[in-house]
Structure 1
Amino acid sequence: MNRKHFLSFMAMMGLTLPALKSFGNLSGAEPESGLKIPDYLKAGDTIGITCPAGFITMAEILPSIQLMESWGFKVKVGKTVDRRDFTFGGSDQERLLDLQNMLDDPELKAIMCARGGYGAVRIIDQLNFDRFIASPKWVIGFSDVTVLHCHLSRKYGIASIHSKMCNSFPADWTLADPVQIETILSIRQALSGEQLRYSAPPLSYNRAGKVEGILIGGNLSIIETLAGSKSDLKTEGKILFLEDTGEYLYRIDRMFWNLKRTGKLDQLQGLIIGGFKVKPDDPGEEFGKTVYEIVQEKVREYNYPVCFDFPVGHQRNNFALKCGVRHTFEVNSSGSSLTSLY
């Protein structure tokens, strides 16, 4: 068992080592001027749970509550849990008020979105971030929560956590596989300020290089729909990660053309391609290119490192990433690696 597996196992079992008990900035690096990094959590801090997008029941989030409490955190459940308005976790107004209350709540140190789906874009422009800016807290989630990650990055330069949410916590840890365990525990590690380091195996499609920069990104289709809005990502000098699910290859190609034509691929430090669950082509409508070929075509003229099949996305190996935090990114013949600096 390697060190990473050992620490994950010890944390799951509650037999934490001093390193797992130590909260705060563990990497020894200091955040650079201009970046806004919320305080890392310590035992006794409170995490709020809300539904800015799809609906979820209290029964479905109980495993996540129990585990986060076992980590030493308190949990405050928002009013949108157990609410439903068709596909949404309550009406737009209910979701807006619940998230607004959590943004403003001085008791909370982090806000975990209960699940993805669709809905954050319907309320993003009505949220008031004044109190949040004065006292930032970690916003946690992925998929539709990419709206929030992009908005916090573009408007305020505040870091957030791209990770699994309440609906991904296993109901029975004794039946969970190692990947499930490690990905869920990576949320705790991110919240606690541990240095995160992930790797992926080598691929012939990768492009080598070693760079340093602020990590941004998320769901490709969400990022595309935010183009030209107040939440549109600024990618210059950044390490960009992308993932998606349930899209036809021609739609993935079109979205990458959007990134290229809007200049988002021009001056990157690096590009990380995570999981892409592709919808099969309709008979007679075969696109003829793979995701690897689609991306290679769009970045051929640039020189920054590129990697594929990174462990992030709508998949079991979806590890927590600190958006808005400086990382090192390296691609070589041994594979690719991404390491947070604080």
Structure 2
Amino acid sequence: MNRKHFLSSFIATATMLPALKIFKNDFNGENSNVKVPPYLKSGDTIGITSPAGFITEAQVQPSILQMQSWGFNIKVGSTIGKRDFTYGGSDEERMADFQNMLDDPKINAIMCARGGYGFVRIIDKLDFTAFKRNPKWLIGFSDITVLHSHLAKNFGVASIHSKMCNSFPDDWTKAEPIQIETILSIKNALTGQELKYIAPINIYNRFGKANGLLIGGNLSIIETLAGSNSDLDTSGKILFVEDTGEYLYSLDRMFWNLKRSGKLKNLKGLIVGGFKVKPDDIGEEFGKTIYDIVLEKVKEYNYPISFDFPVGHQRNNFAYKCGTNHKFEVNENGSFLETL
């Protein structure tokens, strides 16, 4: 798919939202208040850990230097540089490192170093007791969708869906504008700036307006979480999805899963991000595009839909605050999403 026409913009405000004062131990779904962790200020600490795939110490250095330039302190976790086949250490090592950062009161946010695969292997072993008392920003995407979904399902705590350490440019002075914008969007999200994103007109879009909590992430991960303690409740929400390296027939199956499980029925809006599709095998052509696949599943519903939004496994992958209220509008001028 051609994504070169994506547009993006940020609107920054100087007003910081207040730190979270009350946090209930139980989350009662969409009727509960959103719990927004305290926004970061200069001198706060971001922990870096690798709860999924492995990453080297050298690979995280650009992100460390950049986040330090923003005024933050960095604490590198014990999983950085570790490797257990495809993982950033054994299940026990990855769980312990993430748990330490959840429990450490001196850490104000946790950035996952990369995705890959592995978070689902440790999510049920983590103890969120300390986190519930003092929530902090948890950051990542792709496989980290497991974490975003788990927080939304169980605690109603906001989190940040964004690029991770492995996406920071090695040389900031030589980075493309879109790389700089997407990385700076992480800072904006962490510090409580207003976020606004714009996508150009797409002939398959469906016009409309909606306000609601933003949830979502990687489509294949969302599908695999169905029926688990991390399953997403999409009712009354704005859902965004993205994926990479999947055949069209696999994507069709995933969207059927969303439809048959009721996840598409009561949405406020649907945002379809980047989908890097694996070419069909010769003689096994599926015959439908991603647009066909989605529109077939939502034809009986009436809510705004935007395609090719700047989120996913691509350079124009901006930071989104999951679990917070957003305004979403699709019209003849394009698609617009902004924090409320």
TM-score range, shorter chain: over 0.9
Partners in 2 of 1:232 and 1:247 — Cα distance? 21
Q: Do the aligned partners of 1:223 and 1:233 also contact (CA within 8 Å) in 2?
A: yes
Please list the CA deviations of residues 207-249 of structure 1 after superposition, one character each: whole Å capped at 9, or x if unmatched. 0000100000000000000000000000000000000000000
SS in structure 2 at match of 1:66:
helix
Q: Do the aligned partners of 1:217 and 1:242 also contact (CA within 8 Å) in 2?
A: yes
Q: Do the aligned partners of 1:187 and 1:320 also contact (CA within 8 Å) in 2?
A: yes
Q: Do the aligned partners of 1:142 and 1:162 also contact (CA within 8 Å) in 2?
A: yes
Partner of 2:24: none
Please list the CA deviations of residues 11-35 of structure 1 after superposition, one character each: whole Å capped at 9, or x if unmatched. xxxxxxxx67x46239xxxxx9611
Please list the CA deviations of residues 143-164 of structure 1 after superposition, one character each: whole Å capped at 9, or x if unmatched. 0000000000000000000000
Partner of 1:106: 105
Kindly report which structure 2 residues correspond to 1:39-78, keeping only aligned pairs within 5 A, or say none: 39-78=38-77
Runs of 4+ in 1 over 6 A off after TM superposition: none
Partner of 1:29: none
Please list the CA deviations of residues 308-331 of structure 1 after superposition, one character each: whole Å capped at 9, or x if unmatched. 000000000000000000000000
Partner of 1:154: 153
Please list the CA deviations of residues 246-303 of structure 1 after superposition, one character each: whole Å capped at 9, or x if unmatched. 0000000000000000000000000000000000000000000000010000000000
Partner of 2:195: 196
Q: Write the letter of the residue equivalent to 1:24.
A: M
Q: State whether structure 2 residue 245 is matched by structure 1 residue 246.
A: yes
Partner of 2:17: 25
Partner of 2:219: 220
Partners in 2 of 1:124 and 1:61 — Cα distance? 23
- Give 1:174 deviation, angstroms: 1.5
Please list the CA deviations of residues 69-117 of structure 1 after superposition, one character each: whole Å capped at 9, or x if unmatched. 0000000000000000000000000000000000111001100000000
Partner of 1:15: none
Kindly report which structure 2 residues correspond to 1:4-15, keeping only aligned pairs within 5 A, or say none: none
Q: Write the letter of the residue equivalent to 1:338.
A: L
Q: Percent identity?
A: 69
Partners in 1 of 2:322 and 2:41 — Cα distance? 20
| Gapped regions of structure 2 (runs ≥ 5) | 1-7, 19-30
Partners in 1 of 2:64 and 2:264 — Cα distance? 39
Q: Do the aligned partners of 1:23 and 1:192 also contact (CA within 8 Å) in 2?
A: no
Q: State whether structure 2 residue 203 is matched by structure 1 residue 211.
A: no
| Gapped regions of structure 1 (runs ≥ 5) | 9-18, 27-31
Kindly report which structure 2 residues correspond to 1:121-136, keeping only aligned pairs within 5 A, or say none: 121-136=120-135
Q: Do the aligned partners of 2:32 and 2:156 also contact (CA within 8 Å) in 1?
A: no
Partner of 2:270: 271
> What is the TM-score when the length of structure 2 is the normalising length?
0.92
Partners in 2 of 1:23 and 1:305 — Cα distance? 30
Partners in 2 of 1:72 and 1:124 — Cα distance? 31
Q: Write the letter of the residue equivalent to 1:230.
A: N
> What is the TM-score when the length of structure 1 is the normalising length?
0.92
Partners in 1 of 2:212 and 2:235 — Cα distance? 10
Partners in 1 of 2:87 and 2:264 — Cα distance? 33
Change (3 A) 1:261 1:128: same
SS in structure 2 at match of 1:108:
coil
Partners in 2 of 1:291 and 1:34 — Cα distance? 35
SS in structure 1 at match of 2:79:
coil
Partner of 2:174: 175
Q: Do the aligned partners of 2:242 and 2:311 also contact (CA within 8 Å) in 1?
A: yes
Q: Do the aligned partners of 1:237 and 1:269 also contact (CA within 8 Å) in 2?
A: yes
Q: State whether structure 2 residue 91 is matched by structure 1 residue 92.
A: yes
Partner of 2:164: 165
Partners in 2 of 1:132 and 1:181 — Cα distance? 31
Q: Do the aligned partners of 1:179 and 1:316 also contact (CA within 8 Å) in 2?
A: yes
Q: Do the aligned partners of 1:49 and 1:77 also contact (CA within 8 Å) in 2?
A: yes
- Give 1:175 deviation, angstroms: 1.3
Kindly report which structure 2 residues correspond to 1:325-336, keeping only aligned pairs within 5 A, or say none: 325-336=324-335
Q: Do the aligned partners of 1:23 and 1:41 also contact (CA within 8 Å) in 2?
A: no
Q: State whether structure 2 residue 259 is matched by structure 1 residue 298.
A: no
SS in structure 1 at match of 2:108:
strand
Partners in 2 of 1:301 and 1:103 — Cα distance? 42
Partner of 2:116: 117
CA RMSD of aligned residues (A): 1.5
Partners in 2 of 1:224 and 1:150 — Cα distance? 11
How many positions carry a matched residue from both structures?
A: 321
